[in-house]
Amino acid sequence: MKATGIVRKIDNLGRVVLPIELRRTLNIKNDESVEIFVDNENIVLKKYSPNLACKVTGEVSEDNLILAKGKVILSREGVKQLLRELEVKL
């Protein structure tokens, strides 16, 4: 993780403003979504990529499997869940 030296206060509604320089660098435009992750004691914001979201778990990861010519995207956990359900139904 790269330190930016940027410090921001949280307002009374829990909002944090991301500086324009940071948004430009990461190509985050107004009204775009960001995903919020918790990693130990860190809060991580990531530009939301719905194209990489698992259809079963909703997990967004570059490690997700893209199947059926891009029509189905699954995380490893999503694959496991589907296999369990298929074993029961078949």
pLDDT, tens digit, 9 for 90 and up, residues 13-59: 999 999 999 999 888 999 888 889 999 999 998 887 777 889 999 88
Q: Residue 35's pLDDT is what?
A: 85
Range(s) of the domain holding residue 41: 1-48
* Neighbour-count burial for 29-54, b at 16+ CB within 10 Å, e otherwise: eeeeeeeeeeeeeeeeeeeeeeeebb
Q: Domain count of the chain?
A: 2
State the pLDDT at residue 84: 97
The verdict on 39 and 80 lying in the same domain is: no
What is the domain-level CATH number for residue 42? 2.10.260.10
Q: What pLDDT, on a 0 to 100 scale, did the predictor assign at position 62?
A: 84
Looking at the fold, whether 3 and 42 belong to one and the same domain comes out as yes
pTM value is 0.53
Are 3 and 44 members of one domain? yes
pLDDT band at 72 (very low <50, low <70, confident <90, very high): very high
User: Do 73 and 37 share a structural domain?
Assistant: no
Q: For residue 82, which of 54, 62, 49, 60 has the smallest C-alpha distance?
A: 54
- Do 55 and 40 fall into the same domain? no
From the number of C-beta atoms within 10 Å of its C-beta (0-12, 13-18, 19+), residue 81 rates as middle
